[in-house]
Amino acid sequence: MGLFTGLATVRARLLLVVIALLGLAGGGIAFLTDNGAWAERLWSAGTLPVLAALIIEIFSALRRGQIGLDIVAGLSMSTALAFGEPLAGNVVALMYAGGQQLESFAEGRARREMTALLGRVSRTAMRYAGNLLEEVTIESLRPGDRILVRHGEVIPADGTVARGEALLDEAALTGEALPERRLTDEEVLSGSTCAGDAFDLVVAREAAESTYANIVRLVETAQQSKAPMVRMADRYAIWFLLFTVVLAGAAWGLSGDRLRALAVLVVATPCPLILAVPVAIISGMSRAAARGVLVKNGGALEALARIRTVILDKTGTLTFGRAAVTGIRTVEGWDQDEILRLAASLDQASAHVTAEALVTAAHERGLVLSSPSEAQETAGTGIEGIVEGRCQTALERDP
């Protein structure tokens, strides 16, 4: 399919929709005011631009050796005009042009979400050159390079921790809400975020061959692929076209009424299949990518409709990908809300996911938090500071 693909800009597509809509509406007004001749002229004017663009696209596809179901739509519009039924042609033109504009909108949204996916990773990195640091593009990183990864930065390339330890947020890759700790020489995957102190990373693979780059390529390929239903429609397009023409000819020949042939062509115009399926697939995959779910291709997404049984991992759990307070255990004499209030007050000074979960839980219970002072956070250990004149400590439990 691909009406107007490579033929006009999005504005031109929108213009064709407006022309078809104005032609249909103007013709309707003329018809209701007993101006039948003007009604037919306006309906024809609303059909011809869309038909012309479609014919150009059909011939372009034929030169590439491709035969699609678009030909049926072209036949129905041209036959409607030839048989003096411009209203039918205008309706088909509006459905087709409007559907293509809808698909264009879905593709644009998918591109924006893909840009956001790519935008997670910085385009530069701080690489060591002797005892100095230099800012370089991630494309220039090579295996063996040593780079500095600062707090909050997304890892640009796969590698290993050079020394010490690294605290990483891998939610974008694994869905795990709690940060993971990596020690010296342990592997670090691109796409994860430094959730602790800055650390040195030894690059193991070029950025273009890294885990995150492969994920992005997978999503791009998936969005460009066709769903099985569309591939099947394209495969049998020539037979469907021949069957439609024969059936239309038979309807005309047996009834003696040429409008029966037009009715067959209009009914056979496969707008729902050609337009709805690609829009649904593109929208579904882009929405999934925005939520961190990667779909291999349109066929995999379409197969979800047939799933009746889901097998979970060994823990048998599904998570939202974020930490939450599920329970509070206290020693005798301490109130749960008071413990939560003090801990959340101190954790307001931390960006750790566990700290954010405690603060969220306190707000959900309507607790009034105090402002902490002299807060000092140690990556991988916890945070301590002063709350209401008392020294408080919140320790991290190993994930």
Kindly report, residue by residue over 258-311, the tens digit of the pLDDT: 888 888 878 777 665 566 666 677 777 777 766 667 666 666 777 787 888 877
Decide if 85 is inside a domain.
Answer: yes
Question: Which tokens in the block code for residue 294?
Answer: 């990667």
Model pLDDT, residue 113: 63
Decide if 315 is inside a domain.
Answer: no
Domain count, the chain: 3
Question: Which tokens in the block code for residue 204?
Answer: 């193991």
Cβ pair 344, 359 in contact under 8 A: yes
Cβ pair 344, 358 in contact under 8 A: yes
Decide if 321 is inside a domain.
Answer: no
| Residues 15, 17, 19, 22, Cα dihedral to 10° | -130
CATH of the domain at 353: 3.40.1110.10
Same structural domain for residues 85 and 26? Answer: yes
Average pLDDT over residues 154-173: 85
Distance CA 53, CA 4 (A): 6
Model pLDDT, residue 1: 44
Same structural domain for residues 110 and 133? Answer: no
Q: Which of 197, 313, 335, 347 is catalytic?
A: 313
* Domain containing residue 190: 124-216
Decide if 186 is inside a domain.
Answer: yes
Same structural domain for residues 138 and 110? Answer: no
At 22, the pLDDT band (50, 70, 90 cuts) reads very high
At 6, the pLDDT band (50, 70, 90 cuts) reads very low
What is each CA distance from 12 to 9, 21, 45, 252, in whole angstroms? 5, 14, 16, 37
Same structural domain for residues 138 and 211? Answer: yes
Q: What is the pTM of this model?
A: 0.52
Same structural domain for residues 52 and 98? Answer: yes
Q: Of the given ranges (14-23, 182-191, 387-396), which has the lowest mean pLDDT? A: 387-396
Same structural domain for residues 104 and 135? Answer: no
Could you tell me which residue, 171 or 347, shows the higher pLDDT?
347
313 is a catalytic site residue? yes
Average pLDDT over residues 104-122: 65
> What is the SS3 assignment for 71-107?
HHHHHHHHHHHHCCCHHHHHHHHHHHHHHHHHHHHHH
Q: Where are the alpha helices (DSSP H) in 33-174?
A: 36-63, 70-82, 86-119, 171-174
Model pLDDT, residue 334: 80
Last residue of a domain, one of 193, 216, 239: 216
Same structural domain for residues 284 and 245? Answer: yes
Distance CA 107, CA 86 (A): 31
Q: What does pLDDT average to over the chain?
A: 78
Last residue of a domain, one of 168, 184, 216: 216
CATH of the domain at 202: 2.70.150.10
Decide if 3 is inside a domain.
Answer: no
Same structural domain for residues 185 and 241? Answer: no
Same structural domain for residues 18 and 112? Answer: yes
Model pLDDT, residue 220: 66
Best CA proximity match to 158, nearest among 196, 111, 212, 115: 212
Could you tell me which residue, 55 or 225, shows the higher pLDDT?
55
Average pLDDT over residues 59-87: 82
Same structural domain for residues 65 and 154? Answer: no
Same structural domain for residues 347 and 268? Answer: no
Same structural domain for residues 33 and 98? Answer: yes
